């Protein structure tokens, strides 16, 4: 997290690519940028900024976790989650480190202006798609039943006859087109003005899609991922200046920001507190897994979800407290990982369900479909 920073005023695989970028430029490293900040925030401005950041961080975790339950049962190709295995989790910190160091070399060798131009276009496309996907369920409730909602299908195939192979098969409707249009307007606003509100709209959409569409296959995988990124975060923040250099140069909606001088300057404020999306998505996908575990228990309770959700609030609050106490940058995962893993484990020990929690296994959509097909064929044979 960052205390004060001067910023210019001016679906599953895609989500995974975004998550790589989030961790490669996690804003934990941006704390050191405070060294050059001259703005001194008022207590009211600081409280408003950090309160707003905490609130915004909770939104994609809560709603993304709820949507992940529905997403795990979906048979629509556009809504199918990307399953993270233990092998993926073990490799992820290494891949994120290589990505981070690669960006560091790029910014050292090439012009920052041209790199950020390419990144702006890239995140413009991803942001429009992510925001459109986020808005879609809301629009379905807003539009009246009498709304003429036509169905469309985008289909690309390769070959002909028996060798014909589907490359793209995407179904959408008029409501989806309206969402795409609204998202494009926000995208153009961000591209031209880099306004912090547009940045946050894209950031919230990225985070919510990440929590919804990136699924851990079991609790052990979640512990491996969080543990690896815990080490990654601490090393790159405290051990080198690589993350700080990249964060200073990187202009993209991969963080949530809120101005500490909002009360003085209104919407034109430019001294921001910030929170990297990696500090939201990484704990968020683990919290979403625990919600799906709660659902699998069929006990009509959400004990593990709420305990991990409260643990996240505690860890984020502790990060802010330590940062202000010691006046030094703090990697948020240093506090979030022990809290989000430790609290549910203690609850499971107390309830005698620790073994059951670690035995819980989620199958990928392809495996689940294969199981359903095999069970149906067995019923027909009988």
Render pLDDT for 226-268 as a digit per residue (tens, 0 to 9): 999 999 988 988 888 888 788 777 788 888 999 998 988 888 8
Distance CA 47, CA 53 (A): 10
- Beginning with the edge strand found earlier in the chain, give each strand of the sheet holding 2-6 in spatial order: 2-6, 271-276, 255-259
pTM assigned to the model: 0.83
Q: What is the mean pLDDT of residues 328-348?
A: 91
Q: Which two tokens stand for residue 177?
A: 């087109």
Number of domains observed in the structure of the chain: 1
Q: Is residue 169 domain-resident?
A: no
Beta bridge partners of 83: 215
Q: Which two tokens stand for residue 74?
A: 């979906």
User: In the predicted model, is pLDDT for residue 181 greater than 60?
Assistant: yes
Distance CA 272, CA 23 (A): 20
Distance CA 222, CA 244 (A): 27
Contacts 24+ apart (CB under 8 A), 14-18: 14/126, 14/129, 14/130, 15/82, 15/130, 15/206, 15/209, 15/210, 15/213, 15/214, 16/82, 16/214, 17/126, 18/126, 18/130, 18/206, 18/209, 18/210, 18/254
Q: What is the pLDDT of residue 145?
A: 74
Catalytic-residue membership of 279 = yes
95 pLDDT tier (thresholds 50, 70, 90): very high
Q: Which two tokens stand for residue 271?
A: 């001294």
The helix (H) or strand (E) run that includes residue 85 is none
Distance CA 341, CA 336 (A): 8
Q: Percent of the chain at pLDDT above 70?
A: 83
Do the Cβ atoms of 49 and 41 come closer than 8 Å? yes
Q: What is the pLDDT of residue 13?
A: 45
Q: Is residue 278 domain-resident?
A: yes
Distance CA 72, CA 293 (A): 12
* Buried b / exposed e along 301-329 (16+ C-beta atoms within 10 A): ebbbbbbbbebbeebbebbbeebeeeeeb
Q: Is residue 33 domain-resident?
A: no
202 pLDDT tier (thresholds 50, 70, 90): very high
Residues in the chain: 382
Active-site residue, selected from the candidate residues 26, 233, 261, 294:
233
End-to-end CA distance of the chain: 60
User: In the predicted model, is pLDDT for residue 167 greater than 70?
Assistant: yes
Active-site residue, selected from the candidate residues 26, 261, 279, 294:
279
Of residues 149 and 135, more confidently modeled: 135
Instruction: Find the angle CA(327)-CA(99)-CA(335) to the nearest 5 degrees.
Output: 35
Q: Is residue 370 domain-resident?
A: no
Closest CA to 22 of 127, 133, 137: 127
Q: Which two tokens stand for residue 57?
A: 């961080």
Beta strand segments in the chain, E: 2-6, 82-84, 151-158, 165-173, 214-216, 255-259, 271-276
Q: Is residue 189 domain-resident?
A: yes
Catalytic-residue membership of 261 = no
Q: Is residue 167 domain-resident?
A: no
Q: Is 218 helix (H, G, I), strand (E, B) or coil?
A: strand
Q: Is residue 14 domain-resident?
A: no
Q: What is the pLDDT of residue 75?
A: 62
Closest CA to 26 of 238, 336, 278, 335: 278
Mean pLDDT of the chain: 83
Distance CA 41, CA 339 (A): 29
Q: What is the mean pLDDT of residues 179-200?
A: 93
Q: What is the mean pLDDT of residues 137-154?
A: 81
Q: Is residue 328 domain-resident?
A: yes
Domain range for 259: 41-145+175-361
Do the Cβ atoms of 5 and 271 come closer than 8 Å? yes
Q: What is the mean pLDDT of residues 39-45?
A: 81
Do the Cβ atoms of 2 and 27 come closer than 8 Å? yes
Candidate from 71-75, 115-119, 144-148, 328-332 with smallest mean pLDDT: 71-75
Q: Which two tokens stand for residue 82?
A: 């990307």
């Amino acid at each position: 997290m960052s205390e004060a920073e001067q910023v210019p005023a001016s679906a599953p695989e895609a989500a995974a690519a975004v998550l790589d970028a989030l961790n490669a430029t996690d804003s934990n490293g941006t704390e050191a940028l405070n060294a050059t900040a001259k703005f001194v925030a008022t207590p009211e401005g600081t409280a408003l900024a950090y309160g707003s950041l905490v609130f915004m961080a909770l939104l994609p975790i809560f709603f993304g976790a709820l949507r992940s339950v529905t997403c795990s049962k979906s048979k629509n190709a556009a809504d199918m989650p990307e399953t993270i295995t233990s092998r993926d989790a073990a490799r992820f910190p290494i891949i994120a480190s290589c990505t981070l160091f690669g960006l560091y070399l790029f910014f050292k060798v090439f012009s920052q202006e041209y790199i950020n131009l390419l990144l702006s276009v890239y995140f413009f496309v991803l942001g429009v798609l992510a925001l459109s996907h986020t808005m879609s369920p809301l629009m379905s409730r807003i539009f009246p039943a009498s709304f003429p909602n036509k169905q469309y299908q985008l289909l690309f195939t390769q070959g002909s006859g028996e060798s014909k192979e589907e490359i793209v098969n995407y179904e959408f409707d008029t409501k989806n087109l309206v969402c795409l249009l609204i998202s494009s307007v926000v995208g153009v606003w961000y591209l031209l003005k880099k306004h912090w509100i547009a940045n946050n709209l894209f950031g919230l959409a990225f985070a919510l899609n990440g929590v919804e569409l990136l699924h851990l296959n079991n609790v052990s995988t979640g512990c491996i991922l969080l543990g690896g990124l815990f080490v990654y975060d601490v090393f790159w923040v405290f051990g080198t200046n690589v993350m700080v250099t990249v964060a200073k140069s990187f202009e993209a909606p991969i963080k949530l920001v809120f101005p500490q001088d909002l009360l003085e300057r209104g919407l034109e404020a430019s001294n921001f507190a910030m929170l990297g999306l990696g500090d939201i998505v990484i704990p968020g996908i683990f919290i979403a897994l625990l919600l799906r575990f709660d659902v699998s228990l069929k006990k009509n309770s959400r004990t593990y979800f709420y305990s991990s959700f409260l643990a996240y609030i505690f860890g984020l609050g502790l990060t802010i407290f330590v940062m202000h106490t010691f006046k030094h940058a703090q990697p948020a995962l240093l506090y979030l990982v022990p809290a989000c893993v430790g609290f549910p484990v203690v609850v499971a020990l107390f309830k005698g369900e620790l073994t059951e929690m670690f035995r819980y296994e989620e199958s990928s959509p392809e495996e689940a479909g294969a199981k359903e097909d095999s069970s149906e064929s067995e019923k027909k044979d009988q």
